[in-house]
Structure 1
């Protein structure tokens, strides 16, 4: 070989390189550090025997870099990684275009080494140098090269790390697109697919944390479930993939509060730790994350063993982490947050002091340009605020305010946490104004900051709604009072946020859970509207914020004949999507306890489909709103539209109740005769003048609410002989009043009584819009029944019907049959839920004489009890009951409602209205078996006595309220008509 020949390696060096490569391969199999050291020694000697400028020097340097990097993976000695980077840099510098196939190899080796050192010491320049290497390696790799997938994955991984370090969203978006490109290029069944799915899922999880877009976290879980499914049980990567899936499930729990997500997250994180081999460097991170999930479960269940274990595993992670490790701040913060929670449970001041110390250290260890520093400051502020609640030292609160300002300064615009930080700052400022008398500036700035948190473009609706609750409350209590120009948009925005927390892609069960958090806000909004003399806004806000799910169901089932004349294709699309959303929303959530992994993945994919449907629904509505007259299509009605289609037969009374005041709104009066400031006084329910508890309730309702309203309406008492002339009143109570029998309000004594029954016939409506829709649909025009279906419930022994229900059913059947009504009767012994639904589809009226139970936690599982099984409300809502008119629910507590959702009409009666029935007779409380048959018989006899001669024997459901009034116990507070 000539001295100037640069194409061949000297024979001695060639042998050393081959020996070094062989030893490296052996080390990869055995992990014996002696093999690694000998490989490095031989490669160093080969480099010494290769002349400078020789074309093979970069090859030897690249092998040497790989050898040092491999030894670092075992020893964690930074010297090895420094040597690897030094050799890799020289290989890249000396590479020429003569051998283009090896250039991407040199670039990849250097990029991976730099990325490893970034992992170890967290220095940003290493990562910023690694990324261009990874990107260039991809760019110079020919299409079809078998190494392309690995290089794309390396590049995506480096971009993800850059986002985690700096918060640069553009890097994360590029990482996601790189992973997606990788999966498009790879053939089906590629061995790397599980790894890529997991990496892509992790990127979606990170983007969710930044943007709070629910699609991202759902997509993350779908990808990671697939990754786990396609990873063999003996694969060394399985623990990592289980961990990442568990982390995403926990992240989603933080948003949705679905307990099954949290339970599965804990299980996945435990399994990852169990399967990981001894000495796995990932274990400390996984211990930390398991502690976070256990802490979340403690918050939910208050089981102290969860918190104790959380602190134990997080303390272990901190103890085993080197002080200079970049993960130390994260682990300190999480341990501190668990100790803060322990303080909240035990009150031991040492716990909160220790938590504050750990948070301070985490902040100190983190540079200002680190994406997580605002979060660490937020954790410190939370602990300081907790200590302030105990020691009342203004120094703690002042530090909270100054630190929160710094947190806001360090957070980039558009970050998902900006709303949370602004809300925290606003609350702290208001707290200081309350603590430090006369600090008007702090109060003013605090309220302003809360407003910024609510109107922030980024952030989850749930976080914004929490800030909105504080913002509107402080605005109402502010002195001087906030002007209408601030009050009106504040509550408009808040009501819109309530809508955003319970959107159509969620199941009904999930929507009801979300709405528990905002219960009462619409009532407060209406109260605020009255303080500024805006009864119109009060009505609009009550309609917009109450019975939200009920309204969604109604919109999904609304006829679209008027839209069809403008665009038949658009109308068909809306109908198609509405049916799918309706079915998806009312579907009962199956138990995940015994689900297989593939079944869970399928459920996740269905949830993603529902999200896409909801987005398509919004897009279709926007298209419809372009047409003249459809500008407000399926939007909440303004007050003028609400008043346009009220029934002519009587007034509608909406009663708003709030801790500050109560206000009646009538369709016939503008004010309640000076009673807008009236408060409901506390009544002595222990038996005034010998009263029972129920008599006391009815007396207070009469004196404090009903009688003043009747007086304002100029409704006079009707003599018994003129009962037929009684006017009709529709009651729309709110809040706690929804559970009380307004229709029976009165004073009942042995010596004489006075009650609403002397003045009017009462009905109820969940909302004014529900009533106006009935008017527009012709519910108050003569309607012939197309059949009555009656069922009875067997006794607990399953042999015979309960005597009361059997008597009731037989009596109703006889009088309706004799009256010429098409009537079908089935005993509960032979009736299934499906059979009942089939009959309900063909008959306009249904009479259910049976037991019923209400499920306050999951309203869709409220049910009527048959011998063969329950008929759940969710199943009824899934049927198309296009003939539905009248439902008589002769079962206890079918209109009781749920305490946590007083304004969502979650009882069976409202469910029947949502299913399509125009009018429903139901019970608030229990009703005795001996009374129910008498009520039912007289009810139907009244309807049959008012039928028209030309109606072929059919009865008219419009008379149902009067029919109930004339029942023998029409004065009973247990019965009501809708």
Structure 2
């Protein structure tokens, strides 16, 4: 039974009811009476235009065949595929069953078809259909798993949909709905709806469903608490729809909602506004008068109230114009500029988002060949770049650069216009560089601005601005490490000031940027001469003098001077500057509204100066202290504060409250720790993650101190687990998750492993550049290669993929807490029988008993402070350097050994002794944090006395990177069926390094105790051969030179030295095995902490532990070239070669060996105190 075709068409053309049109049952062409075939063709044509996807294209093909037109070959190619046949079967199955299983089958059929299609138009249509099904799947599952993929897919679809494509309006509506569903900003949703409505209003008859959906969306926004602007938007949309209906159907068409909305606008906003909006579209004179009003306000001098009045009048014009009015682009650009000024000068935190929304709407509703396209392209570049400040989004920063590049590629009428566009590009590149989204963007910005300046003739009014932009670009690159560019930054800033006319209002900005360059150079390079600070202050004050007393920029410059004076005090010791800093900072904060987006920075400057002044005591000390705490607290809670600023402020609060109110301090520290994951996101390149981790320096010690003072030991210890070994903990969690998944979901384990390896590879390219020289037939060619931008972008993509895989893994029983914050109670249950001691230089050790029923105990270390610990670490390092230095005299080297003894004795008296008075276990795991990580706790003791007051004589010691690592290691079953052989590597000779005569002898002796082992000596020890051996053997032994890993350089600059090359951390990281038991790294400096990152285990010993070795022996410093230690350990493990190696007793064997060596060489502690055991 079929519907009346003629009635279907007539009803739709009058009512615009798309639902009824699509629900109508139409006859097949061969079953339709001949006189109704034109109506059937019309019905299919309307259905094509009423749909956004491939189903609509099918309707178009039917309409074309009925009217004798040629079909689309691309559609025919799709419908002839096997995948399309399967799609139709899936569609029929879903329509019959209407359950989640059939829907998934339907979705997968679409995916398979899309994979088989290589035509962009067809793919765009299929994605539109696929997106709708994914949203239905989310709705059935009660999730939003597909919200973002749907939005991204529709972005692609619309980008590949021509502006004259009849389906474009429907696709814009699809994306509007998807963006609303994904929680995107309402302005982005509105831009899509308005662009769709603009197209719908041009249709004859009008597509009223599209226009009504926009009106309904705005009306719903207002009803749910959004500003009245949306009520006005709904009213104007209905006004335009009424006009279109009158156009199409005459006076017979009515829209009852219009009068109701007009009355509400009159009531909520004002009768004048309602009257203007109701009639302005019919009277060009009214519109011109409103435009003149906006232009007059834009020319007015900035003063209180002007910024808001500008915005309101620009909004009234933009909202009043019909969606397809020729003046709409200029009106939206004016609205953008008023919002941008309100953000930049007025501090309105919502204004920049609205500015961005205005240009986004303009971009969607403006033809690519519009004469104003270049202005719009510049605006979208500037708006997107500015909003990236607020969102901190690398995607926004990249979009800004892409928009600016598109602007530069547009034909320019002259060199001046090209220079102007290059300046826009440079500004976007600087922002991208600041956000860390592209490490090469800063230098490119400098190069781009140098070209812009070359294109600008002397005397051009824009030349000062270009010199100033060059100054800013060079300054940002210099701050990031290339200090040589500071000279260019300062010189360019000075040039801008020199050539800008004294009456030019832009001189204020030129002076400010010049001062900023001078200040940045002094701060970054820690200049102790006060003159650069004074020069910067003179320029800032000159800029301040040019401002009207009520100008909003007064507070910005005052706060900047306060910051300058604070740093002058810090670097030059000028206490008077600190007093002036506080005074100016207080004035700036008073002049800044609390909801201003720069208020947090200005309040932070105040809090910092007040805190510093409070340390000097005096009658105002308590007042200043309270002032600092109050403002640190306010900044940390401010919505406009960055995550980094919040963390710093919480840390400052905690430090100031630690003694007087340790419980509150612990609360503040917990808030700091809660923010850590965002700052070390895996989506960031390694250099940025390391920079973020450095900001946590000392936090774990502060947490221990606050926990001990407040008595909240369990809570403090749980927080310590979250705020140290952060990068290690992330990698450790993934590695342990892989090991479990390997048994349950091997395909998921493989995907996770692959992503980790690809992330590590991308990381390795994220902070290096290459200069390549090729010589061929006597000619040399060179080129530079900078892989960093691609690497950073790849890291972000891979991190998103990793997040998806982790979420999938968490659905596997037993992995629900993968990468989640550790639960202390669970950790203690899992580590039964293993007593751990967390040692802090803050003066406390937490003893975590192996019996989880026993409480954690805080052992006071009364003589241990951060200062004394640092002193002892420095003393130890100096002694070790002298022992190693062949140029040192024998007497000095002997004295250095005594210094090492002194450190070990101090460590016993202050730390190990008090701990072992409370611990009766014969086995102990040390977990030193902060400065304490640089001290050899396992070797502490009064070894020169025969009283047994040493750790060697009391317990078997091991170290653990974290309590989580310990719990995971001891609960992982040892493999039952494994070989007891080893990969043994001995490299005694390497160019540029001292020969190690004992390396070969050690390797051969170890191999003799472990029959069946693979021995690689000297040149045979290649990286590939070692990798293969590590997969074959559960034990690995290396006798060679070692080079410590440093966070200051590329991680693969450290490692084990081979005859020709290195065995670097990345090789170890890629190892995937569950059979590895013991690694013995008989090389120098394989277990020592990085002095710059004491709480992050970056050494080679940790790398082997992370790779799956249950037990690792390494060294804290340079050791003697001797076989004695290694051979003795293996002799103990194998009963002198009479049994397979019992690797479970590696720690015991090492302790016994070191004890015997101590007894044999009591005067040489560097020989027996260096080796450590990590793991179980």
Q: Taking structure 2 as the reference length, what is the TM-score of the superposition?
A: 0.62
Q: Quick check: 2:1086–2:1099 contact (8 Å CA) kept in 1? A: yes
Report the Cα offset of residue 961 of structure 1.
1.4
**Structure-1 residue corresponding to 2:910:** 704
1-structure distance, mates of 2:792, 2:406: 11
Match of 2:556 in 1: 375
1:961 — aligned with what?
1147
Matched, 1:812 2:1006: yes
1:468 to 633, 642, 650: 650
The equivalent residue for 2:385 is 205
Matched, 1:510 2:688: yes
State the SS of the aligned residue for 1:318: helix
Cα distance change on mapping 1:498 and 1:559 into 2, 3 Å = closer
Matches within 5 A, 1:351-750: 352=533, 355-356=536-537, 358-360=539-541, 362-363=543-544, 374-385=555-566, 390=574, 392=576, 396-397=580-581, 399-407=583-591, 409-412=592-595, 415=597, 417-434=598-615, 437-439=618-620, 440-477=622-659, 481-482=660-661, 484=663, 486-559=664-737, 576=751, 580=755, 583-585=758-760, 587-590=763-766, 591-592=768-769, 602-610=790-798, 612-613=800-801, 634-646=819-831, 648=833, 650-658=834-842, 661-667=843-849, 675-679=860-864, 692-714=898-920, 727-749=922-944
String of CA shifts for 1:888-914, please: whole Å, max 9, x gaps. Answer: 212211112210111101111111222
Alpha-carbon spacing, 1:543–1:234, altered in 2? closer, same or farther (3 Å): farther
Structure 2: distance between partners of 1:883 and 1:867: 28
1:71 is aligned to none
Q: Give the SS at the match of 1:762.
A: strand
Distance, in Å, in 2 between the alignment partners of 1:546 and 1:150 is 54
Asked whether 1:973 is paired with 2:1169, we answer yes
SS in structure 1 at match of 2:639: coil
Q: What residue number does 2:324 align with?
A: 140
1:680-734 superposed Cα distances (whole Å, 9 cap, x missing partner): 667798999996222222222223222222222236xxxxxxxxxxx32211112
| Of 469, 473, 480, the match for 1:289 | 469
- Residues in 2 aligned to 1:270 and 1:608: alpha-carbon distance in whole angstroms: 31
Q: Distance in 1 between matches of 2:280 and 2:627?
A: 63
1:858 alignment partner in structure 2: 1049
Question: Does the CA contact (< 8 Å) of 2:1036 and 2:1080 recur in 1?
Answer: yes
Task: Specify which of 930, 937, 944 is matched with residue 1127 of structure 2.
Answer: 937
Deviations 1:500-536 (A, max 9, x none): 3212112334322321222111111111111122222
Q: Deviations over 1:302-361 (max 9, x none)?
A: 95x755543433233234334554433322322333454577776676765564454355
Q: Per-residue CA shift, 1:915-967, capped at 9, x if unaligned?
A: 222211111111222x1x333333333333399x9xxx754421221232344
Task: Tell me: CA distance 1:512–1:240, structure 2 relative to 1, closer, same or farther (3 Å).
Answer: same
Task: Report whether the alignment pairs 1:923 with 2:1098.
Answer: no
Residue aligned with 1:559, SS = helix
Relative distance call for 1:707 and 1:163 in structure 2 (3 A) is closer
- Asked if the contact 2:844–2:859 (Cα under 8 Å) also holds between the matched residues in 1, the reply is no
In 2, Cα distance between the equivalents of 1:835 and 1:655? 40
Distance (whole Å) between structure 1 residues aligned to residue 367 and residue 1022 of structure 2: 51
Q: 1:577 to 1:301 in 2, by over 3 A?
A: closer
2:506: which partner in 1?
327
> Relative to 1, partners in 2 of residues 1:620 and 1:269: Cα closer, same or farther, differing over 3 Å?
farther
Say whether the 8 Å CA contact 2:731–2:1106 is kept in structure 1: yes
Deviation per residue, 1:254-308 (Å, 9 max, x gap):
55599765444434433432344444443322222322344455556695x7555
Contact 1:138-1:152 within 8 A present in 2 as well? no
1:250/1:364 CA distance change after superposition, 3 Å? same
RMSD of aligned alpha carbons: 4.8
1:559 deviates by: 2.9
Whole-angstrom CA distance in 2 between matches of 1:313 and 1:799: 47
Residues in 1 aligned to 2:735 and 2:897: alpha-carbon distance in whole angstroms: 47
**How do residues 20-99 of structure 1 correspond to structure 2 at under 5 angstroms?**
none
**SS of the residue 1:403 aligns to:** helix
Question: Is the contact between residue 730 and residue 765 of structure 1 (CA under 8 Å) also seen in structure 2?
Answer: yes
Q: 2:1076 aligns with which of 873, 877, 884?
A: 884
Does the C-alpha gap of structure 1 residues 203 and 449 become closer, same or farther in structure 2, counting only changes over 3 Å?
A: same
Tell whether 2:949 aligns with 1:758.
no
After superposing the two structures, state which structure 1 stretch, 937-946 or 688-697, moved more.
688-697
Please give the TM-score of this superposition, normalised by the length of structure 1. Answer: 0.74
1:131–1:158 contact (8 Å) kept in structure 2: no
User: Aligned with 1:897: secondary structure?
Assistant: coil
Structure 2 counterpart SS, 1:139:
coil
CA distance in structure 2 between the aligned counterparts of 1:843 and 1:552, rounded to whole angstroms:
27
User: Once the two structures are superposed, what CA deviation does each residue of 1:802-853 show, in whole Å capped at 9, x if it has no partner?
Assistant: 5322222222333322xxx4x3233342444344334323433322233221
Correspondence list, 1:842-853, <5 A: 842-853=1032-1043
Structure ranking higher on relative contact order (CA contacts 8 Å, 6+ apart): 1
Structure-2 change in CA distance of 1:544 and 1:613 (3 Å): same
Per-residue Cα deviation, 1:771-813 (whole angstroms, up to 9, x for no partner): 001122225x767347522233261359999532222222233
The answer to whether the 8 A contact 2:1083-2:1115 is kept is yes
Extract unaligned runs of 5+ from structure 2.
1-275, 772-782, 880-891, 1159-1167
TM-superposition CA deviations, 1:533-578 (whole Å, max 9, x none): 222233222211111101000222333799999xx99x98898567
Secondary structure of residue in 2 paired with 1:747: coil
The residue aligned with 2:177 is: none
Shift of 1:664: 4.2
Partners of 1:236 and 1:961 lie apart in 2 by: 73
- How many equivalent residue pairs? 841
Aligned equivalents of 1:904 and 1:917: distance in 2? 19
Structure 2 CA distance for partners of 1:527 and 1:845, relative to 1, 3 Å: same
Contact in 2 for aligned 1:944/1:955 (Cα 8 Å)? yes
Q: Could you tell me how far apart the structure 2 residues matched to 1:596 and 1:118 are?
A: 50
Q: 1:730 to 1:620 in 2, by over 3 A?
A: same
Counterpart CA distance in 1 for 2:381 and 2:755 is 27
State how far apart, in whole Å, the 2-side matches of 1:824 and 1:493 are: 52
Query: Please, which moves more after superposition, 463-472 or 787-796?
Result: 787-796
Deviation per residue, 1:455-500 (Å, 9 max, x gap): 33332222222223322111124xxx1252x222111012223343
Secondary structure of 2:952's counterpart equals helix
Change in 2 beyond 3 A, CA 1:745/1:186: same
CA distance in 2, matches of 1:883, 1:230: 61
Whole-angstrom distance in 1 between the partners of 2:650 and 2:1055: 36
